[in-house]
Amino acid sequence: MNSPADKTNTAILFTSKQCPHCPSVKRILQELKQSGKLATLEIFDIAEHQQQAEQYHVRSVPWFRIGELEFQGLHSASELEYWVTHASTDEGILTYLVDRLKEGKLREVEKLIEQHPGWLNIIMQIISDLDSPLQARIGLGAIIEELEGSELLNKQFPTLERLSQHRDHRIRGDACHYLGFINSPQSKEALHRCLDDPNEEVREIVQESLQHLNENHCH
C-alpha cells in the first residue's frame, strides 16, 4: 500500500506539442502521481495557457515546479522521483540550492532566500560541509555579504558562534569571517574569544573581522 503523498509535493508542468522532451517528463510525472508519490499534477500547454505561463515566468519547456522548486529541461525518472520525494525536505532544498550556486545562479538563490527566509538556515550547512563544491561556498559567501546588517543574517549568530569553535580550522575560519558581517556586541564578543585560536590563519581572519566591524560601527 502506498503511503499518502506529501501535500507539499504538488507539481505543475508546462509542455508544448513541438517539444521533443516534454512527453518523457509528462509520462514520468504522471506515473509518480499514479503511484501516490505526487499529490497533485497540473499540466498546461504553453501555447494554450499563456497567462499561466507568464504567471510562472516560463520561458522554455519542459518547465515544471515541484513544491517550491522549479526545473527546466529533460530529467531522468530517478531524478524526478528524488525531487518529488525530497522537494519539501531540508536535504532536497539544500541540494537544489547548491546545484543552483554551482550553475552560477546567485541572484536566483538570493531571490529564493528572500521568498523563503528559513532556507538561509538550510544553506548555512554548506559552511560545515568541506565537501561542498567551491562554487557553492563562494556563492554562500556572496549571499552573506549581501545580507550584512540584516535581521535575517543576525539570526544566524548562534550557528556561526558554534562553528567558530569547530574542530576543523577551515570551518572556524569561515565562521569567524562571517561573524564579521553581524554588527552586534555578541558577534564582537564571540570573535574576541577566538583571538587565541591555535591556528594562525584563523587568528588573522578574526583580526580582519573585528577591524571590519569596528570600521562599520564608526560609520
pLDDT at position 144 over 50? yes
Strand extents, DSSP E, 57-197: 63-66, 69-72
d(C-alpha 67, C-alpha 216), whole Å: 40
Cβ neighbours of 185 (radius 10 Å): 9
pTM over 0.85: yes
pLDDT per residue as tens digits for the range 152-175: 999 999 999 999 999 999 999 999
Domains delineated in the chain: 10-86 (3.40.30.10), 90-145 (no CATH), 147-219 (1.25.10)
Q: What percent of the chain has pLDDT over 70?
A: 95
Q: What pLDDT does residue 216 have?
A: 80
Q: What percent of the chain has pLDDT over 90?
A: 93
Which stretches of 147-199 are DSSP H helices? 151-154, 157-163, 169-179, 185-192
pLDDT at position 5 over 80? no
pLDDT per residue as tens digits for the range 97-107: 999 999 999 99
Q: Is 91 exposed, middle or buried (0-12, 13-18, 19+ CB in 10 A)?
A: exposed
Record the cell numbers describing residue 71, joined without a space.
526545473
Q: What pLDDT does residue 3 have?
A: 42
pLDDT at position 188 over 90? yes
Please provide residue 99's backbone torsions phi and psi, each rounded to the nearest 5 degrees. Answer: -60, -45
